[in-house]
């Protein structure tokens, strides 16, 4: 049975919520920006009017104001955005219980069996070509429009919808008609709609992968779809097979039930800085701040120890780089930070201008690893006990009350509690192994 998958993407979400609550902002260029005094003076979201001025997510406040002198800046209210996100999901739940989140402002919906949506359509649901029955474009567009209109009426924000027969194409479709539009990528016409699009438009194709594909002449989704299976396997391994399946429309990944909880595969955090980071000492200090957050979350998660450390870097031109390495199982901040800094030194050479940093761990042992003799000699257990004590003290008295020496060198970093407050996380990441 042909599936009907909708990908919904809330338009300029943070800015839209602010406009909903303050109608005087309507029609004005609006940017939701972090607090400059806490080194988070960057654009987190912007309205369509701000976009037309050239303002981008990640711009500093002064850059945004330079591009648009009439820009209205409002501070973020993350708790409020989470509440609105829940309200939108409650609308989706009227039509289906197969709702899978992809961030605070995006969801996949499987509406294949949504009798409520189907009943409201009075036209022909099917079209026949070469003896094969397909859902009609008009019917599929109706489903997306119904979702959009329901969200707009009940919550007061707009959403763009992509409607297709798999998750990958549905996600691509939601990007084709923004804001507040519905795009249909049907099983009958998908090749003519998307095969001419740039290969980086495909879900999970990050910058590094796109560059490698372009170097092979695979510049469009259609060219990728027609690539030799053996060549892709040789160049990309199993990832190459996934890329081919996605490009060819063969993705069969199900939309999860709204109550399902994904198995935790990684724990990480990232921060974006108001000014360029240009010296190694500060990089090291910031990596310790992030690693403390990651280590604390790892201990809280009950996932045990991790055996892989990932580093993500974004420069002043918003170019992304990421790399990873296998390590001895650990949940210690000092070890995670040391590995992250080692990756940075080996791969990022001065001079550099860093705008964002991210640290992630994965490869959890779920408590099954045994302490080796080497770890016993290094007093691993005692060091972990110390870090757990630090967690307790911070929870009771505040994050900044107990700090490592390197972090305390800079008071602003000392107050940067990224464990409980974080901003931007990359959407497309390639993680090549070190070396």
What is the reported pLDDT for 301?
Answer: 78
Residue 129 · residue 183 · CB < 8 Å: no
Question: What is the per-residue pLDDT across 46-73, written as a single tens digit (0 to 9) for each?
Answer: 999 999 999 988 788 888 999 999 999 9
| Three-state secondary-structure class, residue 308 | strand
Question: What is the chain's Cα-based Rg?
Answer: 24
pLDDT of residue 250 exceeding 60, the answer is yes
Question: What is the per-residue pLDDT across 154-208, written as a single tens digit (0 to 9) for each?
Answer: 999 999 999 999 999 999 999 999 899 999 999 999 999 999 999 999 988 877 7
pLDDT of residue 411 exceeding 60, the answer is no
Query: Which residue has 């309205």 as its token pair?
Result: 47
Query: Which residue has 């602010």 as its token pair?
Result: 18
Question: What is the per-residue pLDDT across 111-123, written as a single tens digit (0 to 9) for each?
Answer: 999 988 888 788 8
Domains and CATH numbers, the chain: 5-10+81-247 (3.30.70.270), 13-79 (3.40.1170.60), 266-414 (3.30.1490.100)
Beta pairing, strands 99-101 & 72-74? unpaired
What is the reported pLDDT for 366?
Answer: 75
Contacts 24+ apart (CB under 8 A), 112-117: 112/1, 112/2, 112/3, 112/4, 112/5, 114/4, 114/143, 117/143, 117/146, 117/147
Q: Which of 68-72, 78-82, 221-225 has the lowest mean pLDDT?
A: 78-82
Query: Which residue has 């045990």 as its token pair?
Result: 304
| Three-state secondary-structure class, residue 405 | helix
pLDDT of residue 405 exceeding 60, the answer is no
Q: Which of 143-147, 238-242, 283-287, 404-408 has the lowest mean pLDDT?
A: 404-408
Residue 308 · residue 363 · CB < 8 Å: yes
Distance CA 125, CA 128 (A): 10
What is the reported pLDDT for 35?
Answer: 61
pLDDT of residue 93 exceeding 70, the answer is yes
Average pLDDT value for residue range 246-273: 86
What is the reported pLDDT for 219?
Answer: 97
pLDDT of residue 374 exceeding 60, the answer is no
Average pLDDT value for residue range 399-414: 55
Average pLDDT value for residue range 102-115: 91
Who contacts 47 (Cβ-Cβ below 8 Å, separation ≥6)? 12, 15, 16, 19, 25, 28, 29, 30, 31
Catalytic residue from among 106, 146, 335, 413: 106
What is the reported pLDDT for 435?
Answer: 35
Question: What is the per-residue pLDDT across 329-354, written as a single tens digit (0 to 9) for each?
Answer: 998 988 999 999 999 999 999 999 99
Q: Which letter, b or e, does each residue of 40-69 get, where b requires 16 or more Cβ atoms within 10 Å of its Cβ?
A: bbbbbbbbbbbbebebebbbbbebbbebbe
Determine whether 410 is an active site residue. Answer: no
End-to-end CA distance of the chain: give it in Å, rounded.
Answer: 45
In the structure, how many helices (H) and strands (E) does the chain have?
A: 18, 14
Q: pLDDT band at 377, cuts 50/70/90?
A: very low
What is the reported pLDDT for 432?
Answer: 39
């Amino acid at each position: 049975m042909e599936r009907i998958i909708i990908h919904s993407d809330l338009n300029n979400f943070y800015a839209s919520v602010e406009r909903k609550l303050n109608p005087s902002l309507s029609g004005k260029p609006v940017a939701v920006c972090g607090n400059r005094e806490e080194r988070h003076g960057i654009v987190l979201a912007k309205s369509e009017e701000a976009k037309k001025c050239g303002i981008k997510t990640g711009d500093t406040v002064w850059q945004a104001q330079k591009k648009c002198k009439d820009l209205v800046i409002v501070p973020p209210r993350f708790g409020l955005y989470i509440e609105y996100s829940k309200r939108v999901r409650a609308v989706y739940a009227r039509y289906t219980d197969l709702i899978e989140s992809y961030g605070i402002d995006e969801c996949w919906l499987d509406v294949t069996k949504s009798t409520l949506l189907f009943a409201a359509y009075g036209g022909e649901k099917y079209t026949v070509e070469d003896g094969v029955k397909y859902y009609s474009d008009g019917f599929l567009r109706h489903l997306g429009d119904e979702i959009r209109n329901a969200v707009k009426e009940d919550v007061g924000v707009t959403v763009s919808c992509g409607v297709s027969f798999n998750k990958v194409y549905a996600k691509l479709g939601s990007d084709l008609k923004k804001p507040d539009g519905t795009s249909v990528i049907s099983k009958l016409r998908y090749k003519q709609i998307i095969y001419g699009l740039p290969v980086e438009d495909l879900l999970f194709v990050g910058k590094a992968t796109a560059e490698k594909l372009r170097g092979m002449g695979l510049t469009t989704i259609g060219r990728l779809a027609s690539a030799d299976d053996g060549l892709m396997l040789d160049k990309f391994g199993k990832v190459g097979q996934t890329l081919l399946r996605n490009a060819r429309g063969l993705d069969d990944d199900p939309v999860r039930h709204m109550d399902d909880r994904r198995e935790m595969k990684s724990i990480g955090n990232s921060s974006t800085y108001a000014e360029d980071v240009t010296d190694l000492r500060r990089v090291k200090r910031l990596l310790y701040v992030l690693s403390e957050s990651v280590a604390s979350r790892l201990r809280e998660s009950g996932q045990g120890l991790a055996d892989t450390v990932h580093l993500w870097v974004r420069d002043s031109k918003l170019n992304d780089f990421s790399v990873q390495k296998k390590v001895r199982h650990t949940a210690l901040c000092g070890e995670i930070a040391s590995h992250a800094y080692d990756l940075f030194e080996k791969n990022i050479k001065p001079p550099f201008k860093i705008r964002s940093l991210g640290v992630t761990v994965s490869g959890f042992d779920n408590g099954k690893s045994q302490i080796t003799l080497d770890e016993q000699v290094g007093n691993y257990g005692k060091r972990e006990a110390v870090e757990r004590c630090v967690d307790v003290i911070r929870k009771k008295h505040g994050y900044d009350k107990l700090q490592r020496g390197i972090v305390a060198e800079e008071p602003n970093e000392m107050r940067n509690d990224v464990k409980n407050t974080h901003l931007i996380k990359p959407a497309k990441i390639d993680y090549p192994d070190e070396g």
